[in-house]
Amino acid sequence: MLRSEATRCDGLATGLRWCVGMIRRTRHVWREVPSESAGATLIEVLVATAVLVSGVLSMAQLFLLSASTNVSARHITIASTLAAQKVEQLRGLMWGYDVEGTPVSDVSTDTSVIPEAVVGGTGLRPSPADALERNTGGYVDHLDSYGRIVGNRFIPPTAVYTRRWSIEPLPDEADTLVIRVAVYRRERSERPSTAEAEMVNVRTRKRP
C-alpha cells in the first residue's frame, strides 16, 4: 500500500517536472524571437488595410460615376423621345395643296397644349429666329418627369423639361419647311442653354 502511494507520488512529481521544463523551454524560445518580427507583422497589417481602404474608395467612386451616368442616359432618352413626339405632331399638321392647287397651311393649331387646340396657336407658321434660344409663345411647352405637358407660358414647379421648336422655310424653296426641336432639362439651371436632345426634320409641300 505504501509502495503504491509512493509510486504514484513519484509519477506525479515526474509529470510536474516535465511540465515545468516545457514551460521554461517555451519561454526560452519566445525570448529568442527577434522583436523585429512583431514590427514587420504590424506593418503588413497597415499596408493591407491601406490597400483595402483604397480599393473600397475606388469602388465607391465607380458606383457613383455609374449611377450618375445612368441618370444622364435616362434624361437623354426621355428628351430624345419628347423631341421625336413634337416633330411628328408638327408633321401631322396641314401643309399641302387643295384640289384647285392652292397652298393650304395650318397656322392656327396650338400644339403646346393637350389635347391640341385647332385655334389659338401658331401651327406651322414661321417662328422667330431665336425660338430655340428663349421661351417664345406658341413655340414652347414645359413637361414633367413623365413627359406630360404641364404649361406653355409660365413655368410650373413640376416642370422638368422645356421643349422649344422652330419652323423656318428654306430661302429659295417656300414649299419646304425646316422643323427643329430642342429639349432642355430644367434641373441643370433655371434657364438651360444646352439641349439634352435636338432633332431636325424637313417637310415639303407637294403639288397634286
Domain ranges (residues) in the chain: 2-65, 81-204
Query: What gap in Å lies between CA 170 and CA 125, rounded to an integer?
Result: 13
What are the cell numbers at 27?
519561454
Helix (H, G, I), strand (E, B) or coil at 13: helix
pLDDT above 90 covers a percentage of the chain that reads 50
123 pLDDT band (50/70/90 cuts)? Answer: very high
- 149 and 143 in contact (C-beta within 8 Å)? yes
If you average pLDDT over residues 25-40, what whole number do you get?
47
Q: How many CA atoms lie within 13 A of 190 on its CB side?
A: 1
Q: What pLDDT score does 164 carry?
A: 96
Residue 175 has pLDDT above 50, yes or no: yes
166 pLDDT band (50/70/90 cuts)? Answer: very high
Residue with cell 526560452: 28
Q: What pLDDT score does 150 carry?
A: 95
Residue 57 has pLDDT above 70, yes or no: yes
149 pLDDT band (50/70/90 cuts)? Answer: very high
Helix (H, G, I), strand (E, B) or coil at 137: coil
- 49 and 115 in contact (C-beta within 8 Å)? no
Indicate the average pLDDT of the chain: 80
Q: What pLDDT score does 189 carry?
A: 52
- 137 and 147 in contact (C-beta within 8 Å)? no
